[in-house]
Chain A
Amino acid sequence: MSTTIKTTLDNGLTVLLRDVHTAPVASFWVWYRVGSGKEHVGITGISHWVEHMLFKGTPRWPKGTADKAISREGGMWNGATWYDFTTYYATLPAEKIELELEIEADRMTGALFEPKEVEAERTVIISERQGAENDPLFLLSEEVMGAAFRVHPYGHETLGHMCDLQGMTRDDLYRHYRTYYVPNNAVAVAVGDFEPERMLELIRKHFGSIPAGELPNAPHPTEPPQRGERRVMLEGEGNTAYLTVVFHTPPATHPDFHPLVVLDTVLTGASGMTLFGGGGTNKSSRLYRALVDTELATQVSGSLVPTVDPFVYSITATVRAEHTPAEVEERLREELEKARSEPITEEELNKAIKQAKAQFAYSSESVTGQAFWLGWSEIFAEYTWFEQYLDRLSAVTPEDVLRVAQEYLRRSNSTVGWYVPRNEH
């Protein structure tokens, strides 16, 4: 595997470079250490909205010119906002990658936030939220996360509350942008077909003169310990019921994280290491056998996400027609109790590790996928987290998995949500 070079410019910009010469393409990303995990009520959704505004032009790249310039070179371009980050990237034919450096350096400071554009985007963002509200699983997740987190901002969706989307002003957005979009709060990642020295030179040329900024020193909210099971009942349209159960879990840097990855794999199958999901089927996982094979549910999935602050491990099932969330929950509890009382087998452990190795190999096919993981792991830990991932997993023992199951899959550490179709009442 190629090696990664990490360095920091004088203005505090962290730089990660990895040359990969398998295809004549390169991917360049800028990650900002800001996302909905740093928002409070009143400005929820602001990081995501700011991301949208960065596509609305600067004096040097007026609206519509940068995306066309990227497309003209055959590139793909996008941005994303999540709990711990806001990121922008393009993947291009390798000889054109400097274009993306130019655009990202320019919009780190130069985005216009024209009032007219802010207002036009308000309706787009509200429309995005309404589209999400069409999905019962979004509504359920929003309720469950709100109940699981009373204090930490992970409890609200990245899209933000509707009232905040209606109320935020251009000045709120611009202030957020100027506060967090500074080189000392950012990570630049380049992966692809280039010479690292030359790429570092280019990054210096475009980003080196951007001054560092002063980051807010606000105390970081800590979620208080949960002292008993929480339950959320949601009624809505449709004919299908859903069940979600979440458990508070430690952050990515905690030693328990990798045993939890193995536990999740045994329970709900391997997770994809590619950009968006993937991971194949999970039909040989314990929960598929317990819930889907038994015809109580039609699908089950698990999600353990690496984060900066403690987050949750979540399990979601689609309840099969003629069954109820209560039945699915009961069977799920039995399976979780089993995981808390007996260690997993060596075969299950080896299978989980082989699955992770395969997913890792698949993810290395694309420079975009590699850049994503390097950047994201630098945000929640350090890029070496990604590089050491397989070694850490290989060191996990069945006893470790038993211990973390006992520690985190406690009923008193859970928040349960049911989505029940209204017409069933």
Chain B
Amino acid sequence: MSIPGPDDILREVLPNGIVVLARENHDSPSVVVSGYLAVGSYDETDEQAGLAAFTASALPRGTTRRTFDEIYEEVESVGASFGISAGVHHTGFGAKSLAEDLPLILDVLSDVLRHPTFPPQEVEKLRGEILTDLEEREHDTRRMAALTFRELAYPEGHPYGRSLIGYPETISAIRRDDLVAFYEHGFGPRGMVIAVVGAVEPDRAVEQVEAAFGDWEGSMFSREPLPPVSRPTTIRQKFVPIPGKTQSDIVLGVPGPARTDPAFLDAVVCNTILGVFGMMGRLGEKVRDEQGLAYYSYSRVEGGHGPGPWTVIAGVNPSNLERALESIRAEIRRICQEPVPEPELADSQAFLVGSLPLRLETNEGVARAILEMEQYDLGLDYLQRYADLIREITPERVLATAQRWLDPDAYVLAIAGPPEEAGSGRQEAG
């Protein structure tokens, strides 16, 4: 197996604008289809939070050719699966099947993406499922900490600052007509990308995609630029009390670098040192391991088309909350003040480079990597250049990226957990 690159990834642009990427792999008789459309929660308003996600979930609920039951009977009968879900900038779709069933799976995907009918009864059924899930979320410390972080970290009206799946009020208020209007405005072939990876010849894959999507017509709509996001200058925090829980979840961080930022990989290396390498980097070592304060403690840098979050995430006993936060702050301070020692940097670089074959072992992994190259315009030779890009990062660059984004005294902090011990005296954000 070689690292996927321009030599073995076929890239074709169909006349209607759809970009098709295909790579062959006959090690297993299966195939993965993965891609996205240029519509997402970006294109909804705060008042209709969750509209893009609701629409995406409603697509497979019935089409002009198939009922909901027929869609899933057909797909599941051959052991295949598929899903559609909204993101901020895109609506993603994915499917997996035996290679022999690729035409069927593309036909179903095309049907649900192009000919949804939003049957009223199915829309109501789905609404009930979403509302039940939102009720569960209100009592889930991890999900509430993550949501609260987003709401605090981004200004009002910013698509990154609201819940992707919405809120009980917004989901209850969305009408079927809103779904239809959102679909008609946003769904089309322009900006669509689809990757096919697995036991199918690339030319055949492109042909089959063209057969399913080639005659889809539509034009691109325009978007306002993202509202500006400022770096926190103080500590902005909020505590969400959830009675009856035994553990508190913490999300601490900032709006971070976009995937397209020239220094994004510097941030990836910095984050690997901080909260990934080995048993979750310096955070894992100090917060979890030396002090036994948490069951988990790590960090992640999300990237994306805009300033996605760069966060530290931890689950702690409420009585250890202050000590854990102090310990997390100390690690942020250290990475912002001291250049990372060369051997420690070399370790994280070796990890990022060495783990590439593992990340590319499955068809899903390859499809993910190919889509990332396409989505962020990294070039199809990106994976082949990746090792050099990582290895040329210096301690100075890591320090500069830490100082640019992180600050132990200025960040957004969201905590969700039991009220008694942890809530007392904790200041609420205004």
User: Interface on A for B, CB 8 Å cutoff?
Assistant: 22-25, 55, 63-64, 67-68, 70-76, 91-93, 96, 119-128, 130-131, 133-136, 236-240, 269-270, 279-285, 289, 292-293, 295, 298-299, 318, 320-321, 351, 354-359, 361-362, 364-368, 422
Contacts and interface: CB of A to CB of B under 8 A. Distances in A.
A77 to B, nearest CB: 8
A71 B351 contact: yes
- Label chain A's interface by main secondary structure: mixed
B234 to A, nearest CB: 29
A74 B295 contact: no
Contact of A361 (B98, B290, B293): B98
A359 B79 contact: yes
Interface stretch (B132-140, B185-193, B224-232): B132-140
B292 A358 contact: no
Nearest to B284: A67
Contacts of A362: 28, 30, 96
Lowest 6 CB-CB distances: which A-B pairs, in order? A74-B354, A358-B79, A280-B81, A237-B244, A120-B292, A22-B27
Contact of B72 (A25, A125, A127, A283): A283
B247 A133 contact: yes
Given A24-B1, A134-B141, A74 B72 contact: no
A22 B363 CA distance: 12
B105 to A, nearest CB: 11
A422 B139 CA distance: 13
Contacts of B296: 131
A332 B354 CA distance: 50
Interface stretch (B15-23, B298-306, B313-321, B370-378): B313-321
8 contacts: A23-B1, A68-B277, A71-B350, A74-B355, A120-B290, A131-B296, A237-B242, A237-B245
Contacts of B354: 72-75, 93, 96
Contacts of B389: none
Interface in B121-167: 125, 128-129, 131-133, 135-136, 138-141
B132 A298 contact: yes
A125 B78 CA distance: 42
B353 interface: yes
Contacts of B291: 120
Contacts of A64: 278-279, 285, 289
Given A24-B1, A361-B30, A67 B292 contact: no
Nearest to B30: A361
Contacts of B69: 283-284, 289, 293
- Residue from the set B29, B68, B75, B136 with the largest chain A CB neighbour count within 10 Å: B136
Given A134-B245, A362-B28, A282 B278 contact: no
A67 B278 contact: yes
A68 B357 contact: no
Nearest to A78: B279
Chain B interface size band reads: 35 or more
Interface string B345-363: 0010011111111101111
A124 B294 contact: yes
Given A64-B289, A93-B358, A298-B133, 7 more contacts: A25-B358, A240-B139, A281-B76, A281-B81, A284-B69, A284-B76, A321-B131
A27 to B, nearest CB: 10
Contacts of A321: 128, 131-132, 135
Nearest to A357: B79
A51 to B, nearest CB: 13
Interface in B241-257: 242-247
B259 interface: no
Interface of B: 1, 27-30, 68-69, 72-73, 75-83, 96-98, 125, 128-129, 131-133, 135-136, 138-141, 242-247, 277-279, 285, 288-296, 315-317, 320, 347, 350-358, 360-363
Contacts of B347: 68, 71-72
A235 to B, nearest CB: 10
Given A131-B315, A238-B136, A365-B363, A320 B128 contact: yes
A322 B262 CA distance: 51
Given A76-B355, A76-B358, A127-B247, A320 B132 contact: yes
A74 B350 contact: yes
A358 B78 CA distance: 7
A297 to B, nearest CB: 9
A130 B321 CA distance: 14
Contact of A55 (B68, B82, B131, B279): B279
B278 A68 contact: yes
A13 to B, nearest CB: 26
Contacts of B243: 237
A75 B80 contact: no
Contacts of B82: 281
A63 B132 CA distance: 44
Contacts of A130: 246-247, 295, 317
Contacts of B75: 281, 284
A29 to B, nearest CB: 15
Given A74-B350, A284-B69, A365-B28, A23 B357 contact: yes
A22 B289 CA distance: 37
Contacts of B246: 130-131, 133-134
A74 B357 contact: yes
Given A71-B278, A365-B362, A126 B245 contact: no
A91 B358 contact: yes
Contacts of A127: 247, 293-295, 315-317, 320
A280 B75 CA distance: 10
B3 to A, nearest CB: 10
B330 to A, nearest CB: 17
Contact of A240 (B135, B247, B357, B360): B135
Given A127-B316, A354-B79, A25 B361 contact: yes
A139 B330 CA distance: 35
- Residue from the set B131, B295, B356 with the largest chain A CB neighbour count within 10 Å: B295
B326 to A, nearest CB: 16
B86 to A, nearest CB: 17
A270 B132 CA distance: 24
Nearest to A269: B76
A164 to B, nearest CB: 16
A280 B278 CA distance: 31
B297 to A, nearest CB: 10
A236 B136 CA distance: 13
A122 B135 contact: no
Contact of A134 (B29, B247, B289, B360): B247
Contacts of B79: 270, 280, 354-359
A68 B141 CA distance: 31
Given A64-B278, A71-B278, A361 B351 contact: no
Nearest to A20: B27
B250 to A, nearest CB: 12
A157 to B, nearest CB: 14
Contact of A355 (B76, B125, B317, B352): B76
Contact of A122 (B27, B292, B351, B357): B292
B219 to A, nearest CB: 33
Contact of A351 (B76, B125, B247, B289): B76
